[in-house]
């Protein structure tokens, strides 16, 4: 679970990005700041794993706040003005990555994972090559031991196909087999019934859409 603090004065982006990143199973948005002031206050308090900060904010620059926070942070800078001037200033305050606001969401997620893992993308020769290594759909840590069939059943639960017979019909297998798969799902996710399984399935991103 990567704990993130987002700072951006545009609420539209701040709120949207918070929800979008929060939906990704291995991310947790630990805080959101709309001002540099809030960033300075929140960061030492919640100690996020990765900072995602905008440069331009009405009450100052996100970069100055980063400098003051010291070298202990792992920060991703995002800005509308993705030029070398800004990039150099970001590098100077110890930022690990530098993104334009035109970057697609999956790339941002991969960047955050890379920075969390200790990579520095801001002066990398081939940033895309690094990003590709962190691009996994990344279900939660609990989910990696699930088999394909088990995920399939979880996906059905997340769609509201809850009866054993309904699941069996959907997959063209015996209802006994469905119950076997469910039992191993319960064990792996440390839960005890299909309602909790449906909740977990949705949380893990196995739901529709």
Positions that interact with DNA (CB under 7 A): 145, 147-150, 162-165, 171, 173-177, 179-183, 186, 192-195
Residue 174 interacts with, from a second copy, DNA, none (CB under 5-8 Å by kind): DNA
Q: Which is nearer to DNA, 68 or 144 (CB)?
A: 144
Alpha carbon distance 186, 153 (integer Å): 12
Total interface residues for a second copy by CB under 8 A: 41
Nearest to 206 by CA among 154, 136, 142: 154
Q: Is 62 helix (H, G, I), strand (E, B) or coil?
A: helix
Residue 173 interacts with, from a second copy, DNA, none (CB under 5-8 Å by kind): DNA
Q: Is 194 helix (H, G, I), strand (E, B) or coil?
A: helix
Buried-state track 191-205, b at ≥16 Cβ within 10 A, e below 16: eeebeebbebbbbbb
Nearest approach, Cβ of 35 to a second copy (angstroms)?
11
Alpha carbon distance 107, 55 (integer Å): 19
Nearest approach, Cβ of 131 to DNA (angstroms)?
25
Q: Which is nearer to a second copy, 168 or 202 (CB)?
A: 202
Give the range of 62-70, 125-133, 170-178, 196-204 binding a second copy by CB under 8 A.
Answer: 196-204
| C-alpha separations of 5 from 28, 73, 78, 83, 110 in Å | 9, 11, 13, 24, 16
Alpha carbon distance 6, 14 (integer Å): 7
Alpha carbon distance 38, 54 (integer Å): 13
Near a second copy by CB under 8 A: residue from 65, 157, 182, 206: 157
Q: Which is nearer to DNA, 131 or 182 (CB)?
A: 182
Q: Is 171 in the site for a second copy (CB under 8 A)?
A: no
* Binding positions for a second copy, rule: CB under 8 A: 9-13, 15-23, 34, 78, 80, 99, 101-105, 108, 157-160, 162-163, 191, 193-200, 202, 209
């Amino acid at each position: 679970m990567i704990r993130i603090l987002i700072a951006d004065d545009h609420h539209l982006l701040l709120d949207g990005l918070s929800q979008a990143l929060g939906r990704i199973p291995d991310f947790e948005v630990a805080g959101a700041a709309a001002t540099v002031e809030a960033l300075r206050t929140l960061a030492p308090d919640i100690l996020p794993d990765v900072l995602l900060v905008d440069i331009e904010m009405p009450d100052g620059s996100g970069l100055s706040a980063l400098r003051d926070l010291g070298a202990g942070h792992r920060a991703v800078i995002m800005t509308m003005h993705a030029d070398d001037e800004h990039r150099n200033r970001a590098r100077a305050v110890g930022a690990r990555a530098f993104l334009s606001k035109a970057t697609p969401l999956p790339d941002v997620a991969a960047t955050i994972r890379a920075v969390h893992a200790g990579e520095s993308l801001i002066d990398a020769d081939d940033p895309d090559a690094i990003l590709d290594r962190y691009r996994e759909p990344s279900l939660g840590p609990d989910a990696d031991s699930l088999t394909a069939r088990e995920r399939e059943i979880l996906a059905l639960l997340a769609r509201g196909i809850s009866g054993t017979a309904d699941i069996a019909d959907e997959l063209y297998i015996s209802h006994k087999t469905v119950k076997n798969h469910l039992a191993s799902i319960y064990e792996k996710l440390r839960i005890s019934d299909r309602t909790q399984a449906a909740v977990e399935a949705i949380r893990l991103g196995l739901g529709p859409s």
